[in-house]
Chain A
Amino acid sequence: RKEVEQDPGPFNVPEGATVAFNCTYSNSASQSFFWYRQDCRKEPKLLMSVYSSGNEDGRFTAQLNRASQYISLLIRDSKLSDSATYLCVVKRSGNTPLVFGKGTRLSVIA
């Protein structure tokens, strides 16, 4: 089983829709959680860190459920420019590497 698993894509949604991605992680020692965005043929870029209390940044809301070991990302009022691959990332404490999920591809359609 992969350490980080994400919803399989692609998600094709109309502009203005709300879309949610889920991600599960298997290692209960995971301490840090992130969502990254990767555009086609570009490098991943940090979208937001995910905090235990949940956090919001504009149209984006991230939540963490430690008991169930999953992370979610909600995008409201989708824009064409939100089309990208969204990567779930977890990290244990100490000198351990970041672990990336395979990513979920989102296409927002006019």
Chain B
Amino acid sequence: EADIYQTPRYLVIGTGKKITLECSQTMGHDKMYWYQQDPGMELHLIHYSYGVNSTEKGDLSSESTVSRIRTEHFPLTLESARPSHTSQYLCASCSGATSEAFFGQGTRLTVV
């Protein structure tokens, strides 16, 4: 089993609130990713990181930000949540040697 954890699993918050979705991995992977996925739809890359202090925006325009201060931790922050942010957010980390990616169980976010 992959050692990558996301918290919270489910979150319902009001519009305008600031939230941080947590993602941690204990595999020592340098590469980490955040994806957004609506039910039955494809994965969209929103942010990625290749190591400490490296972050890049993905294909999907996002109002979120990320940080990578420690190898094992890659939190995603929404400064002001909106109903359009309602979705599932999936974090993944990737082995540099094999490029195999492992996903956390996801955070299902609902903004009301």
User: B84 contacts the other chain (Cβ, under 8 Å)?
Assistant: no
- The residues of B that contact A34 with a CB separation of less than 8 Å are 99-101
| A50 CB to nearest B CB, Å | 11
For chains A and B in complex, what number of residue pairs have CB atoms within 8 angstroms?
47
0/1 per residue, A90-102, Cβ < 8 Å to B?
0100010110111
- The residues of B that contact A44 with a CB separation of less than 8 Å are 43, 90, 103
Q: How far is the CA of A95 from the CA of B94 in the complex (A)?
A: 11
User: B61 contacts the other chain (Cβ, under 8 Å)?
Assistant: no
Q: Are A49 and B100 in contact (CB under 8 A)?
A: yes
| A89 CB to nearest B CB, Å | 8
Interface residues on B, range: 20 to 34
Number of chain A residues close to chain B: CB under 8 A: 20
Q: Are B100 and A97 in contact (CB under 8 A)?
A: no
Name the one of A32, A43, A102, A103 contacting B103, with C-beta atoms under 8 angstroms.
A43
Q: List 25 A-B contacts (CB under 8 A).
A: A31-B99, A32-B98, A32-B99, A41-B88, A43-B90, A43-B103, A44-B43, A44-B103, A46-B100, A46-B101, A46-B102, A49-B98, A49-B100, A87-B43, A91-B99, A95-B31, A97-B56, A97-B58, A98-B33, A98-B92, A98-B94, A100-B43, A100-B45, A102-B42, A103-B42
Residues of A within 8 A of B (CB): 31-32, 34, 41-46, 49, 87, 89, 91, 95, 97-98, 100-103
